[in-house]
Amino acid sequence: MNSNRRSFLKFGLAGAAVIGGLSQLLKISPHEFNERVTRKLLGEGRLAPTFARDKAREPKENGGVGLDEEVVDWNLKIEAPGVATRNMSIQEVKALPRVEMTTELMCVEGWSEVVHWTGTPLRHIAPPNAPEYVSLMTPDESYYVGLDLESALHPQTLLAWEMNGQPLTPEHGAPLRLVIPVKYGIKNIKRVGSIRFSPERPKDYWAERGYDWYAGL
């Protein structure tokens, strides 16, 4: 095990112990404690670190749920209460304001990689007065993530179609994926097929399996 990995594990264990102790004092779960702290930081306008373009590398392909079927006639379905459902082609998504950023993709397994992304901020497809939560699903709905609206509308939350200057590969979520560098990789859903704005907290694939629903860094 290399020194970086050992340091990560030591920091993670120590952090978990501190969070566990504080959450007991506050009579809330460690997951809820993590959410309160990271939401406070986001509320203060925190941005994830950015890096020089030449630091970018290809990340692991981790996670294939929702990527089994071939993409045919893909479109992005957008739903919100009181608003007509929209279907956007990839060309229409790419016509939205374009942003490039080089940020770190961090996995709950302990690895990370700096990646250069091209896409459009998710906030450009949000309806006026959007409700509190956002749900994103793959076209077959087998993988899904839930976000609070503040995280979804964060300026670094992108719907990305390029990685390191090249179109996304199927393994990395072509034709469109979510990039949200203020959260762990489990929230960076690949092959987004639908986005739903809702007043109720949506289900989340990994939260159902014991992970933190918020998953903030």
Q: What is the pLDDT of residues 139-192, one digit of tens each?
A: 999 999 999 999 999 999 999 999 999 999 999 999 999 999 999 999 999 999
Tell me the pTM.
0.83
The pLDDT, as a whole number, for residue 15 is 47
- Two tokens, residue 62: 């981790």
- Two tokens, residue 85: 């459902």
Tell whether omega for the bond before 175 is within 30 degrees of 0, i.e. cis: yes
Residue 194 has pLDDT above 50, yes or no: yes
Question: Stretch 5-19: mean pLDDT, rounded?
Answer: 43
Domain boundaries, the chain: 1-46, 49-209
* CA atoms of 177 and 61, how far apart (whole Å): 13
Residue 44 has pLDDT above 80, yes or no: no
Q: What is the pLDDT of residues 62-85, one digit of tens each?
A: 999 999 988 889 999 999 999 999
Containing H/E element for 43? helix 30-43
Distance set, CA 22 to CA 8, 17, 19, 26 (Å) = 21, 9, 5, 6
- Two tokens, residue 190: 């690949």
Highest mean pLDDT among 6-10, 70-74, 206-210: 206-210
Residues 49-209, CATH architecture: Alpha-Beta Complex (3.90)
- From the centroid of its chain, how far is CA 167? 19
